[in-house]
Structure 1
């Protein structure tokens, strides 16, 4: 009887271990499937916490020392310089619009919009939106944030960040906003929208400049950031129209570490 008891106990242990192994295997398969897809999102196992695990090219998302976005604590910003060291040359331009699954993005059709930083020219490639804002001022988010992404001839990137708050209807974006693509779309959409980016910028162009990264995978660093202090406005209806399509696409703020934030004053 004692031998039978030991045999029963051994069989029970083996069955339990086998069940645990199957469960672990199943959990690993779920995780591996997400990672093998090399896709990313803002939710659960493909969200910001796991971006570095989804693709070897995303390691900077976890290991980088100059990541974006950041929280700008205004009392701690000490360095200042005159705004005229940077110049923005924008004009009314046609853009195509797409839903890339992560945001609504407007793609430039010309090279006429330029950002000049310390004599170096960066051409506007595209602009897109996040909700709520990715950058913070004194730990506070805005309703949305606009990113204007530029590149110089060597592929170095510079991004303008503009906060968006609830207010009056933004007529400059109304045409594009009336036809926001609700589903993920293919590129090179034929419809074009004329947008006056110069008029879209805040009247007060005081900004905060720092060395950062892309806020989406692969989180590439050595990106020059200029984040405007004054927000622009969009109506509650416009903000909600975007949020119905893209409910949430904000990366959490990242450690500033030893970086310096420079205030560009008018």
Structure 2
């Protein structure tokens, strides 16, 4: 897969709140639910089904509609309390420009074999050794990425067709998630090899044959982000997750969107209140 251009180190500007340098020291490690791609990555071992199988059975069933849909997540289990009462919930609408402060961010991804899995609520790709990012000297390893349709975040009120979440974790277990939005347009050739192997039914992870996946291929070339402190967008909605969402969308064809939607259905949590949080606008130097 061809890589989009990338400078060796990215110098970005952020608001003078110390959000990125403060890290995620308060992030807890939630139990995982079948089909919960965020919580899978938050566990001690990076999200393996076998490693989290016992914990999954303790989490109440949830979905994206009806009596166990997003409006009721916080009432389904005490584990999900943050979904209802948390002050820093995700996703949110992203907009605005903040006063700048320089921070070093290096996107250091590598090409790697990967497994793909239909989790029920989303389809997840887990590279064997996909590299990661280094932010303010702290390395965050790429654990997995997965897809939501339509997009969970909006930018100036605009909702995209697909949003890809690249879930990273550092040695302390703190989470950093990079979001990429994709609008309907021409087909994304970087997604095509992965889309060929989209699993039709929930089941165990399987190796994608004859393919090396590099996360940077699935991200925009422009080095511009929105950043804020938020949460997992699925139960248990754990907070203190650092979010970096690309400001520029990619393009995806109607056929690619339809192929994914037919497998998962809509799987986007509604927009949450920002509750006075600062949204930082990061621009590459």
TM over 0.5: yes
User: What is the alpha-carbon distance in structure 1 between the residues aligned to residue 175 and residue 232 of structure 2?
Assistant: 9
Q: Give the counterpart of 1:162 among 173, 180, 205.
A: 180
1:85-124 aligned at under 5 Å gives the runs 85-110=104-129, 112-124=130-142
Query: Once structures 1 and 2 are overlaid, which stretch shifts more, 246-255 or 163-172?
Result: 163-172
Matched, 1:258 2:280: no
Whole-angstrom CA distance in 1 between matches of 2:99 and 2:227: 10
**CA 1:150 to 1:243, structure 2 compared with 1: closer, same or farther past 3 Å?**
same
RMSD, aligned CA? 1.6
Higher relative contact order, structure no. (Cα contacts within 8 Å, ≥ 6 residues apart)? 2
Query: Hey, what's the Cα distance between the residues in 2 that align with 1:37 and 1:211?
Result: 25
Normalized against structure 2, the TM-score is what?
A: 0.76
Residue aligning to 2:95: 73
Q: Secondary structure at the match of 1:59?
A: helix
The residue that corresponds to 1:208 in the other structure is 226
Distance (Å, rounded) in 2 between the aligned partners of 1:166 and 1:224: 27
How far apart are residue 81 of structure 1 and its match?
Answer: 3.6
Q: Which whole-Å CA distance do the structure 2 matches of 1:220 and 1:253 have between them?
A: 16
* Superposed structure 1 runs of 4+ greater than 3 Å apart: 190-193
1:238, 1:202 → 2: CA distance?
Answer: 18
Using the TM superposition, give the Cα deviation of residue 98 of structure 1 relative to its aligned residue in structure 2, in angstroms.
0.5
TM-score (normalised: structure 1): 0.81
- 1:197 and 1:162 map into 2 onto residues whose CA distance is 11
Aligned position for 2:46? none
Paired residues, number: 226
Structure 2 SS opposite 1:230? coil
1:122-133 paired onto structure 2 within 5 Å:
122-133=140-151
Work out the CA distance in 2 between the residues paired with 1:87 and 1:71: 26
Corresponding residue of 1:186: 204
Question: How far, CA to CA, are the matches of 1:95 and 1:264 in structure 2?
Answer: 30
The unaligned stretches of length 5 or more in structure 2 are 1-57
- Relative distance call for 1:52 and 1:123 in structure 2 (3 A) is same
Match of 2:238 among 204, 220, 224: 220
**Structure with the higher fraction of residues in helix conformation:** 1
Runs (5+) with no aligned partner, structure 1: 1-35
- The 2-side partners of 1:191 and 1:209 are apart by 32
Separation (CA, whole Å) in 1 of partners of 2:118 and 2:177: 20
Distance 2:101 2:152 in 1: 24
Whole-Å Cα distance in 2 between the matches of residues 140 and 245 of structure 1? 24
Pair member with larger Rg: 1
